[in-house]
Copies of this chain bind each other. A is one copy, B any other.
Amino acid sequence: MGELRYWEDFHVGDETVHGTHEVTEEEIVRFAREFDPQPFHVDPAEAAGGPFGGLIASGWHTAALHMGMFVRSQLLQSASLGSPGVEELRWLVPVRPGDVLTARSRVVDTWPSETNAGRGTIVGEHELVNQHGEVVMRMRVRGHIARRPRPGR
């Protein structure tokens, strides 16, 4: 795993590619049956005649797929303290079975907490890009992360 990364180790402009994931019909339907059972997410036959001309992934599934890659690539090696929220999230292009999605992130802002000397905030712009080079999802998410422990503090 290497050294744990703290708030001080992230800088505006840092870019990271987290990984790729091939989306299957099975996982689209499985997620949507539990969390978003609209016909165009769960029923391939009905979806074919629906507004997207076929089955597409729930937007919440798409966001979760990004998170899975981001956590395994970066957050597990960082002193993460969770997230207070998302500034904006856009679903730009439908995600379909067989799509191969690449997750990437860029640090767009950082600041130390005014109320908690042990913590800072990082704002990341996160994107998922499909095999055609289209950005299918873009979001700006705030993350809390521990500051590097200092001797004597």
A-to-B contact residues, CB < 8 Å: 31, 34-38, 40, 51-52, 56, 58-61, 63-65, 67-68, 71-72, 75-76, 80-91, 94, 139
CB-contact partner of A37 in B56, B72, B87, under 8 A: B72
Q: Is the interface of A mostly helix, strand, loop or mixed?
A: mixed
A36-B52 Cα distance, complex, nearest whole Å: 28
Chain B residue numbers with a CB within 8 Å of A89 are 85-86, 89
Q: How many copies does the complex hold?
A: 2
Q: Verify B80–A91 contact, CB threshold 8 A.
A: no
CB-contact partner of A68 in B34, B88, B139, under 8 A: B34
Q: Verify A67–B58 contact, CB threshold 8 A.
A: yes
